[in-house]
Amino acid sequence: MTVSDLKQKFIEKYGEGEFHGYFSPGRVNLIGEHTDYNGGFVFPCALSFGAYLLIRRTDRQTVRFASLNLPFEAEVAVEDLNKKVGKEWVNYPIGVFAQFLKKGVKFEQGADILIFGDVPNGAGLSSSAALEMVTAMAINETYEIGLERLELIKMSQKAEHEFAGVMCGIMDQFASGMGKANHAIFLNCDTLDYDLVPVELDGIKIVISNTNSPHKLDSGMYNQRVSECHAAVDAISQYKPIKVLAEVSWDEFKSLEDKMEEEVPRKRARHVISEIARTEQAVQELRNGNIDTFGQLMNGSHDSLRDDYEVTGEELDTMVEEARKIDGVVGSRMTGGGFGGCTVSLVKDEAIDTFIAEVGKNYEARTGLKPAFYVAEIGDGAKRLF
């Protein structure tokens, strides 16, 4: 759907008059999974698809929410923009409004809001972060609040915590807010220091494979992993006082591993600490043009997520297994929170058609699910469109 189409839909819904449009992208994480809430490194990039939000400030004391993707609509009084509406999608933008209220912002006027997203829902490409980030940008500019972009990113993360109930790290919102075309973000999730690293893949494309087995991060499994990492921190702190797993190097962990009595926290820590080391190495390999080694590190990431973090499952593992059988695949791994969603693969240009045909056919034969494939374009972060 084009921006012109969206403008027409807004007018059909809310009538003529001045309004503005914003966009915030989804993201794919190349490597560094489940490290963000452990204070480690991640390496995501923004995608060319995401969430669009059209907004008009009004003189009413209510905010009207509508979506072109879902039928549910809501009209919420400005003083109630910190209250959930059942389990509906509007809780994502309402959750962002609530963060502004927490900062003492008073909304004297309401708004008309129309949302459209072209990130596949439940695919693990951060449709929720894109929606939160585009809402934060739109509110900040429409009501002339003047907050810095990093503050909007943090508020969007808190909205996810408090209104969606997912105790996510900062990666998704950061990638959506700070992305740059043809670059990935090497982000230290503890300090929020970051570098924009050019992604120069000569003759290779990033292919996202959607298992069409939607992940359910709000089902509790994600939050359970967060708790298990806290347990690992407690176990390691008996020997080295730490606050997050990122404070432990891989060599230190190898010396402490046998002292951790409980198997589950030990396995979770093994993944996180090894994944942080893999991510640092992968970024260096990419900077040096060593794409084959980068691909091997992607493979190692998936295997660790499967064996030690246990967040992959049949569909993601099947997709990765079939991908790795294709000549011309440099590396393949799950991306996102897991428990369904997408994989990300580096595929040589000449192998892309074969990849989509063969992996698609074999995956469907093994799982009964029909996958979808996207040749990713790395886009810019959140921005005003008009």
Quick check: 2 and 154 in contact, CB under 8 A?
no
Are 39 and 170 contained in the same domain? Answer: yes
Interacting residues of 181 by C-beta distance below 8 A, sequence separation 6+: 378, 379, 380
Q: Inform me whether the pLDDT recorded for 122 exceeds 80.
A: no
308 band by pLDDT with thresholds 50, 70 and 90: very high
User: How much is the pLDDT for 167?
Assistant: 83
The residue-averaged pLDDT of 153-179 equals: 93
Are 151 and 262 contained in the same domain? Answer: no
| 314-324 vs 352-367: helix crossing angle, rounded to 10 | 140
Are 178 and 222 contained in the same domain? Answer: no
Interacting residues of 324 by C-beta distance below 8 A, sequence separation 6+: 299, 332
217 band by pLDDT with thresholds 50, 70 and 90: low
Are 176 and 204 contained in the same domain? Answer: no
Domain count, the chain: 2
- Other C-beta atoms closer than 10 Å to the C-beta of 80 total 15
Are 8 and 96 contained in the same domain? Answer: yes
Q: 347: domain CATH number?
A: 3.30.70.890
277 band by pLDDT with thresholds 50, 70 and 90: very high
Tell me the pLDDT tens digit for each residue of 319-354: 999 999 999 999 999 998 888 899 999 999 999 999
Are 181 and 228 contained in the same domain? Answer: no
Whether this model's pTM surpasses 0.75: yes
Angle made by CA atoms 35, 197, 247, in degrees to the nearest 5: 30
Are 204 and 193 contained in the same domain? Answer: no
Are 259 and 190 contained in the same domain? Answer: no
* Pairwise CA distance, residues 134 & 114, whole Å: 12
Are 136 and 210 contained in the same domain? Answer: no
Please tell me which residue in 172, 307, 317, 349 is annotated as part of the active site.
172
Q: Inform me whether the pLDDT recorded for 369 exceeds 80.
A: yes
Q: What is the identity of the amino acid at 289?
A: G
In the chain, % of residues over pLDDT 70: 98
Determine whether 172 is an active site residue: yes
Are 170 and 254 contained in the same domain? Answer: no
User: How much is the pLDDT for 216?
Assistant: 59
Tell me the pLDDT tens digit for each residue of 133-151: 999 999 999 999 999 999 9
- Other C-beta atoms closer than 10 Å to the C-beta of 180 total 16
89 band by pLDDT with thresholds 50, 70 and 90: very high
165 band by pLDDT with thresholds 50, 70 and 90: confident
Q: Which residues of 227-275 form beta strands (DSSP E)?
A: none
Give Cα separations from 172 to 58, 139, 153, 309 (angstroms).
31, 19, 9, 19
| 263-287 vs 291-307: helix crossing angle, rounded to 10 | 170
**Hey, is 262 helix, strand or coil?**
coil
**Long-range CB contact pairs, 238-247, < 8 A, 24+:** 243/39, 244/38, 244/39, 244/40, 244/190, 245/38, 245/39, 245/40, 245/269, 245/272, 245/273, 245/276, 246/35, 246/38, 246/39, 246/40, 246/41, 246/189, 246/190, 246/272, 246/273, 246/276, 247/39
User: How much is the pLDDT for 53?
Assistant: 98
Are 36 and 178 contained in the same domain? Answer: yes
User: How much is the pLDDT for 51?
Assistant: 97
Quick check: 259 and 243 in contact, CB under 8 A?
no
In terms of Cβ atoms closer than 10 Å to its own Cβ (0-12, 13-18, 19+), residue 292 is exposed
The residue-averaged pLDDT of 285-305 equals: 97
Least confident of 145-159, 214-228, 310-324, 365-379: 214-228
Q: 187: domain CATH number?
A: 3.30.230.10
How many Å is the maximal CA-CA distance in the chain?
A: 68
Domain that holds residue 273: 200-375
Residue with more model confidence, 344 or 169: 344
The residue-averaged pLDDT of 166-189 equals: 94
User: How much is the pLDDT for 272?
Assistant: 98
Tell me the pLDDT tens digit for each residue of 42-73: 999 999 999 999 999 999 999 999 999 999 99
Question: Structure tokens of 47?
Answer: 């995608």
Are 188 and 245 contained in the same domain? Answer: no
